[in-house]
A and B are shown apart, each in its own frame.
Chain A
Amino acid sequence: MSFPWAKQYTPTTDFGQWMDKQLPLPRFVYNSVGAGYPAPRNLNYMWNFGSMAGLFLVIQIVTGIILAMHYAANAEIAFDSVEHIMRDVNSGWMIRYAHANGASFFFIAIYLHIGRGLFYGSYKAPREMLWLLGVVIYLLAMATAFMGYVLPWGQMSFWGAKVITGLFEAIPLVGKPIQELLLGGFAPDNAALNRFFSLHYLLPFVIVGVVIMHIWALHIPGSNNPTGVDVKGPQDTVPFHPYYTAKDGWTIGLALMFFTALMFFLPNALGHADNYIPANPLSTPAHIVPEWYFWPWYAVLRAFTFDFLFIPAKLLGVLAMFSAILVWFFLPWLDKSPVRSGTFRPKFKIFFGILVIDVLILGYCGGAPAEEPFVMISQVAAAYYFAHFLIILPLLSRMEKPEPLPNSITESVTGKPLNTAS
């Protein structure tokens, strides 16, 4: 794969040559994220969030492995073992706050990364598989984050586990047995806590595996770019290293500054005070909400307060919540417009902006109490969300007249035609 003008890896030392013959790992790295990967020269800052999500995944794995050294996955002592980490373990408070806030930063990066893909049409041919793998990563990350939130065994942990596994109860006929199978009991208890811990430790490594496939799938067509125009020649690309390693490094430094500021000065700003109360199966907190990164989908879940045809409201809500993300799997075939980048699609641009606002509204409603006017707003916003993907995008791709595309990336950058640019 890669472009024919990609720089070739040439080991200079004897050891390098010996290694390259037996296990060409340095060559693999060189071709993936080194000088051997020619990337479009016009990538803007929205292209920085993939590597940032990767960095926060690594931070989560490192801090998580450390926390597992001190944590006890037993319903009797789990809460106390987290307090032990906070009070007794050397720097334990810092490592736990890094892990708790690192999850938020992972999702910030991943949401901006998904938003980039949506606007610039990165899901379109020839990158459908790349997009599908990305959706799989997102789903795995949500499952991992949910199970991680259960582990401290506070009030929000317990009731979060109860509510989310309760979703499965909505499935007709087999719902109840499935819920009991997932929990290993009738309510969250030791069995559930242990399996959540086991899976919370496993899934990040599954994510790493899918991330490797995601990057593999990326390198076959190469990166998309803000114009959406294909790379036509060597003048359209620069080597990934040092150009994009340096650029990514700069935003990673910036992100780490915000991350450490939050971690050291506002470590509980994104958490819930209720989770510092030990789990009590006999008392539900007044206001149960998931972590902020689940709010939009939680709003979709709660938007269904009415039965429709013969389907009960509860089942509708669950189906809608899962569909809200599963619809992304069909996106490459819903948006048929041959123009990738939203920059050259005047109407799409407007609807994309509305979608972003719509998701933000859903997010706000998901974090608010389940009362009016939030329920009504969620219903309208959820309806618009599905309309965007199922009605607006397919129609737009037929009716919209896109603006003329630049002939090449170089032309869009230099303003000169391809042949005279160099």
Chain B
Amino acid sequence: MATVETADTAVAEEGGVRRRDFINIAAVSFAGAGAVATVFPLVNQMNPSADVLALSSIEVDISAIETGQSIKTSWRKQPIFIRNLTATEIAEANAVDVAGLRDPQTLAERTTAGKENWLITLGVCTHLGCVPLGAAQGEIKGEFGGYFCPCHGSHYDTAARIRKGPAPKNLEVPEHEFLSDTVVKIG
């Protein structure tokens, strides 16, 4: 091989470790770290962009919702149910033995103190994401008087807790805050 030095002919130094081994490992590690640093933004670009995150909280005027009524609104492109519970519905929800539920939660844990009649949940079934019925006038409310998901038959009670059917969890309560008696901020 003329004057071309090959790896085999290079002289081994201290303990069989050659300077070239060090250069090899250093170069490959450096390139590897660079590759990881490069890949991060290339993947992170798929996360929600600033304009999507800017829509992450909404304020809803609830003054027009009569007792027993509910409305559907949209938050982060997902349906939100805001329900003004009747005294009977509150009593029904409180009468349930919480320990026996699939996802044990009391009505009080799912509402704001002093505003127990306002039940605010995502309108997204925890099974596979359909929109349950029961929020609009005349829709089936299911066996427990709350919501009923027509896709795979999940029944939710008046506190929107899962009672029957395949859904694993209660309808999710989004982070919310009453700014006044008539305005609620979601998100």
Chain A residues within 8 Å of B, Cβ to Cβ: 41, 62-63, 66, 69-70, 84, 87-92, 94-95, 235, 238, 249, 410, 413-414, 421-422
Contacts and interface: CB of A to CB of B under 8 A. Distances in A.
A88 B41 contact: no
B45 A66 contact: yes
A235 B2 contact: yes
B44 interface: yes
A380 B77 CA distance: 63
Nearest to A92: B45
Interface string B32-64: 000000000110111101111000000000000
Contacts of A84: 49, 51
Contacts of B45: 66, 69-70, 89-92, 95
B95 interface: no
Contacts of A66: 42, 45
Contacts of A63: 42
Nearest to A84: B51
Interface of B: 1-4, 27, 41-42, 44-47, 49-52
A422 B1 contact: yes
Contacts of A235: 1-2
B2 A91 contact: no
26 contacts: A66-B42, A66-B45, A69-B45, A69-B46, A70-B45, A87-B50, A89-B50, A90-B47, A90-B49, A90-B50, A91-B41, A91-B42, A91-B44, A91-B45, A92-B45, A92-B49, A95-B42, A235-B2, A238-B4, A249-B27, A413-B2, A414-B2, A414-B3, A421-B2, A422-B1, A422-B2
B84 to A, nearest CB: 37
B2 A94 contact: no
B122 to A, nearest CB: 25
Given A249-B27, A422-B2, 13 more contacts: A70-B49, A84-B49, A84-B51, A88-B52, A89-B49, A95-B41, A95-B42, A95-B45, A235-B1, A235-B2, A413-B2, A414-B2, A422-B1
Q: Which 9 A-B pairs have the closest CB atoms?
A: A91-B41, A88-B50, A88-B49, A88-B51, A89-B49, A90-B44, A422-B2, A90-B45, A235-B2
Contacts of A410: 2
A257 to B, nearest CB: 11
A65 B120 CA distance: 40
Contacts of B3: 414
B37 to A, nearest CB: 11
B41 A90 contact: yes
A379 to B, nearest CB: 46
Contacts of A413: 2
A410 B1 CA distance: 10
A220 B47 CA distance: 46
Contacts of A238: 4
Nearest to A238: B4
A410 B42 CA distance: 46
A422 B3 CA distance: 7
A200 B3 CA distance: 49
Contacts of B46: 69
B44 A41 contact: no
Contacts of B27: 249
A238 B42 CA distance: 37
Contacts of B49: 70, 84, 88-90, 92
Contacts of A91: 41-42, 44-45
A167 to B, nearest CB: 36
Nearest to A416: B2
A142 B89 CA distance: 70
A214 B186 CA distance: 59
